Chain A
Amino acid sequence: RKEVEQDPGPFNVPEGATVAFNCTYSNSASQSFFWYRQDCRKEPKLLMSVYSSGNEDGRFTAQLNRASQYISLLIRDSKLSDSATYLCVVFETGYALNFGKGTSLLVTP
């Protein structure tokens, strides 16, 4: 099984700050990439897919660098409700979703 690596954090940021999470993956044949969000003791939920050209959804921007095997998530204007664990996820052909261990974010007033 190939690895998906994330900085576990925690990242403690004030409301309104911009925060960025990074993720690296080891399988160069990986085909699809995602960010999931997991609130404490709850199930993971899809935050956004990550496309090669980069994509944005409101305050969230995801980018993929296939050459460096690197994925990022940028959160602008952080809200208290953004506090959660963010999971980097890679889909590998012939396998299921491969999860990183997650990065913990705490947004403070």
Chain B
Amino acid sequence: DAGITQSPRYKITETGRQVTLMCHQTWSHSYMFWYRQDLGHGLRLIYYSAAADITDKGEVPDGYVVSRSKTENFPLTLESATRSQTSVYFCASSVPGQNTEAFFGQGTRLTVV
């Protein structure tokens, strides 16, 4: 299907485990982003990527790793999950430019127990 999709939609994992959240877009947008959304904090940028093999840290990158070997995929890995990483994670993509729309995936609800 065309668009931007995230998987899994829901995930429960244990503290200390590694977990990867997947993001795939079919538009060939060069920009991709990962945000987390928590009550009281709104959407906070974790990492973003301007193109394949180009990534940069956002506001809250600690404990997360990203890669972008292909334009259409932007996986987010929690190297050793902590309870504070329990959140809703949104992936987004856009074309370059100031007045361009960012399109969001449906989100992944991650619970770390």
Contacts and interface: CB of A to CB of B under 8 A. Distances in A.
A46 B105 contact: no
B81 to A, nearest CB: 22
Contact of A43 (B41, B48, B105): B105
A96 B33 contact: yes
Contacts of A95: 45
A32 B98 contact: yes
Size bin of chain B's contact surface: 20 to 34
Contacts, number: 45
29 contacts: A31-B98, A32-B98, A32-B99, A41-B88, A41-B107, A43-B90, A43-B104, A43-B105, A43-B106, A43-B107, A44-B43, A44-B90, A44-B104, A45-B104, A46-B101, A49-B99, A87-B42, A91-B98, A91-B99, A95-B45, A96-B45, A97-B33, A97-B45, A97-B102, A99-B43, A100-B42, A101-B41, A101-B42, A102-B42
B58 interface: yes
Interface of A: 1, 31-32, 34, 41-46, 49, 87, 91, 95-102
Nearest to A46: B101
Interface string B31-73: 1010100001111110010000000001100000000000000
B97 to A, nearest CB: 9
Interface string B5-48: 00000000000000000000000000101010000111111001
Given A32-B98, A44-B90, A1 B59 contact: yes
Contact of B102 (A31, A41, A42, A46): A46
A91 B94 CA distance: 12
